A and B are shown apart, each in its own frame.
Chain A
Amino acid sequence: MTRGAFISVSFFLICALLAVLFQVKYTVLDLENEHTKICLLLRSSHEKLRVLKAEWAFLNNPDRLFDLSKKYLSLRPIKGQQIVHYKDLQNSGMGEYDRERLMEIIGCGGKKR
């Protein structure tokens, strides 16, 4: 290979490499920009979620719920007599029918009606 041809081929290869490098560089830059945008979007969503969670916690303040419950509902605080353990239900001679119904209500199977 003559010197001129070598220089020409080298020149061509360098140009090609530069073109590829240029393409790759800008593809990477585009991807990086996209990644940054997604990250910012994600971050923004997280921040909005934080605000929403804080608001939800504020709305669920027991004091507020108690006042709202008194105003709009006829619910009263539960009493100790209203609480029974499941094993006590089993030992209390409750019939098969009722037990299955209870299982159905609490989502643990039972016959469908």
Chain B
Amino acid sequence: MRFWGKAYRVGIGLNRVSSLVSRLETGARNGAAQEEYTRQLRAEEPPLVADRRTRKLLGTGTVGFHSLGNWRLSTVALAFYFLFFLVCVRLVDVMILGPRKGYSANQMVSYETEIPRADIVDRNGNILATSIVTASAFVNTHEITDPLEVAERLPPILKECPVDELKRKLQSGKSFVWLARHLTPKRQDAIQRLGIPGIYLKKDYKRVYPHGNLASHVIGFCDIDGRGLSGVERSYERTLQQNQSQQPLRLSIDIRIQYIVANQLQESVDEFQAIGGNAILMDIKTGEIIAMESLPNLNANHPGDGKSECAFNRNTLGVNEPGSLLKILNVAIALESGKVTMQSSFDATLPVKIGKFCVTDCGRRHEVLKLRDAFIYSSNIAAIKMLQTFGGAPIQKRFFEDFGLFEKPAVELVEVGRPIFPKKWTEPTAMSSSYGYGIAISPLKLLTTINGIVNDGMLVEPTLIYGKQQMRQKIISSETSSRVRDLMRETAIYGTARSANRYAADFRIFGKTGTTYKNAKGMGYSIAGKRRRITSFVAGFPHENPRYILLVMLDEPKATPQTCGQATASWNAAPCGGKIIARIAPLLGIPAAEA
């Protein structure tokens, strides 16, 4: 009301101005009448109401708003005010509220706030996983006028989607239905050219793994929506997804070393017709995993194509009895306890009975063995005698607990297997464990523990992240560690790991082999008279200042004519390990030792 009151007053003002102008115009013509009127004004006796003729002559509208001229002027003014008001409203709409956004048919719908999943790179910055921009087609079925016709036009472009499925999607009555994901630029263009209202392209990201099968168990893979399903992709899901800075996740893996390890392992798996194999290379000091391969593996770009066993990471998820590799722990405990020295001897002439089982030695040496010989020839009987010398089950269990053998490895993967061991650590269990049975652990846990023993007694948790500081814990003395390394060096020169040293003699390796029989649950160690083996080999290098440690395992390797009908670790896993070290050591900057 206030506004209209003001408008009214302004209207009156305008009327006055217009009447003044009219007066000036008519003044010349009606001089006499004007003079008469002026005289009346000066005489301060103006007529209260001018007669009709006078008002017409003067053209005045000052006296009454009800005059015809005033009405016209006011109406025009109001009309102009109204128009100006509309203009102002539109200005506010355009300038303050801004333009309205909308998408036309077949326009690319993009979400500017969407950030692609961060890259994963190896320790040298080589890309292991990245997200590239693509587009996916979706349909708003409410905007489709003729679903059947559209369903007939799309198949040449969307070949992966059958016509029936297309019809079902188009007739679903939903406002958002995916038609095809991750289209190539050519197919995106083809869909846009169709110009079908209701079919849109949405900006999308596709996760790609340039190295395919290589390190696929470590890196893992994502689903079609870019959510991590396994490996580092899953364990670092939040970090990779919400990475505003787009800093890549840098793994400790070296893709060159990974390739050599995978390549050599595959050769050995093929040569010995093994059903699988796995290998881990670790930096002794930092616990960083340089390479980790498990065969069979899968192509991370097409994870659904392989068998389910291809997705199984033997290194972290698979647990098995470690066999003779556990003798490294047995010797370390024996030496650390102080009850066994390098000069100690053990009677291995007769087999040892544990319940219904009879423990013998493969080499059938049947003699009194010194500690050195018992270790390098991997005597089971001597290992049990050693256990009995240093105190049996309680001491062994305490050391195993210190080594963290009963806990799963703290690596940055979801696929980690828990160790399997008896609840009661009895004397027969301890006897079995002294030569590598009775407890099942993952290869990664085994390597971590052995690494702790040869790394001056410093246990370092394994990691897949470059430069990550890991927990360290002293588990045995440096002297014991040094002695164990020396024993392993002798094993590589004179013992069961000679075949590895043949290939990697330049790098002064120290190692130990292990052959264990697979225990099929409920079926024992022998099925239909056949024993299935897992052969393993662990080696560190160089001996004086160890920097790297390698574990190689072959699952059910077969004997070949070249192995003289043998299928133990010294015939397959050890040569494989030796070949790997010979190839990777120069790349790792390890110079050859002088002869």
Contact = CB atoms under 8 A, between A and B. Distances in A.
Interface of A: 4, 21-22, 25, 47, 50-51, 53-58, 60-63, 66, 77-85, 88
Nearest to A36: B112
Interface string B120-152: 000000111011110000000000000000000
B132 A51 contact: yes
A68 B400 CA distance: 49
Contacts of B208: 54
Interface string B335-374: 0000000000000000000000000000000000000000
A50 B586 contact: no
A30 to B, nearest CB: 13
A86 to B, nearest CB: 11
Contacts of A79: 506, 586, 592
Nearest to B592: A80
Given A22-B95, A50-B116, A62-B255, A57 B586 contact: no
B586 A4 contact: no
A57 B211 contact: yes
Contact of A63 (B259, B507, B589): B259
B20 to A, nearest CB: 12
B188 to A, nearest CB: 14
Interface of B: 13, 91, 95, 116, 126-128, 130-133, 208, 210-212, 214, 255-256, 259-260, 263, 506-507, 582-583, 585-587, 589-592
Contacts, number: 73
Contact of A54 (B132, B256, B587, B592): B132
Given A50-B116, A83-B591, A57 B95 contact: no
A84 B214 CA distance: 30
Contacts of B116: 50
Nearest to A21: B95
Nearest to B246: A46
A88 B506 CA distance: 17
Contacts of A50: 116, 130-133
B341 to A, nearest CB: 35
A77 B588 CA distance: 13
Contact of B130 (A4, A57, A78, A81): A57
Given A57-B210, A77-B583, A83 B589 contact: yes
Contacts of B583: 77
A84 B131 CA distance: 40
B256 A62 contact: yes
A62 B583 CA distance: 14
Q: Which 4 A-B pairs have the closest CB atoms?
A: A80-B592, A62-B259, A57-B210, A57-B127
Contacts of A85: 591
Given A4-B13, A54-B130, A80-B591, 17 more contacts: A47-B132, A50-B131, A50-B133, A51-B133, A54-B127, A57-B130, A60-B126, A61-B212, A62-B211, A62-B214, A62-B255, A77-B586, A78-B586, A78-B587, A80-B506, A80-B590, A83-B592
Nearest to A58: B210
Nearest to B505: A80
Contacts of B210: 54-55, 57-58, 61
B400 to A, nearest CB: 37
Contacts of A81: 506, 592
A78 B583 CA distance: 8
A58 B263 CA distance: 17
Which of A4, A58, A88: most chain B CB closer than 10 A?
A58
A19 B144 CA distance: 46
A91 B413 CA distance: 46
8 contacts: A50-B132, A57-B128, A57-B211, A58-B211, A77-B586, A79-B506, A80-B506, A80-B591
